[in-house]
Amino acid sequence: MSATHKVFLVDLRNHGKSPHSQEFNYAVMAEDVLELLQDAEVPQANVLGHSMGGKVAMTLATAYPEVVDKLIVVDIAPKQYPPHHQQIFAGFKSVSLSEIKSRGEADQQMMKVIANAGIRQFILKNLDRDEQKGFKWKLNLAAIEAGASQVGAGLSNSAVFNGETLFVSGGNSDYIKTEDHALIYHHFANAKIETISGAGHWVHAEKPKDLLETLHQFLNAD
């Protein structure tokens, strides 16, 4: 995307290299993005988010519509989702950070609870060296797990955004179902819904070329 657009790739609070905080919900994460736009002197932006990031993007657009030009939400609906990341949390907790000497050892420990190698590698992207050359998690695992129920929350019934909006679902994913379309249009009256066939929930990782083509078509349309 950076070949044709100025791109800000955001680590949300408690993730990556962004600050840790015990306050973890969509309202404060949307305010973080708003503050970033203000600090960068970007009065209006196209905003793209996947999964939890998609909920943040929806919250930003409905709370501060003046800063969002076009909104893109990848494989998440504005509805409430039950807690469903228990296996991911178990994967993090299966690794004894004080004992491991390498990422390979962490992977071996995690293999006991997560068989899927792709999911393990996704989790292990959060592994980092600490000041003593040992290992630590980049993310604030305790705060994220404590806020899991709030991360599953849907948009309030009154939240609306009338700007151009694109929802992209993975054809093999059940995050956006046909019965969710009415709710999407309730919140986003000017929405389009596209499906990337052959993709699961991780659309950008599984079908990157198809997703990029879909994004460019939407962003370049008058």
Residues 51, 173, 187, 204: which is the catalytic one? 51
Q: How many whole angstroms separate alpha carbon 141 and alpha carbon 146?
A: 8
Q: How many whole angstroms separate alpha carbon 165 and alpha carbon 185?
A: 10
Determine whether 102 is an active site residue: no
Strands, sheet with 191-196, edge to edge from the N-terminal-most edge strand: 45-50, 68-74, 165-170, 191-196
Q: How many whole angstroms separate alpha carbon 38 and alpha carbon 197?
A: 37
Q: How many whole angstroms separate alpha carbon 89 and alpha carbon 147?
A: 12
Residues 50, 187, 201, 204: which is the catalytic one? 201
Q: How many whole angstroms separate alpha carbon 190 and alpha carbon 124?
A: 38
AA identity, residue 99: E
Report phi then psi at 67, rounded to 5. Answer: -95, -5
Report phi then psi at 53, rounded to 5. Answer: -60, -30
Contacts of 200 (CB under 8 A, 6+ apart): 170, 172, 173, 206
CA angle (109 as vertex; 108, 113 as ends), nearest 5: 105
Determine whether 15 is an active site residue: no
Kind plus residue range of the DSSP H or E element containing 137: strand 135-137
Catalytically active residues, by annotation: 51, 201
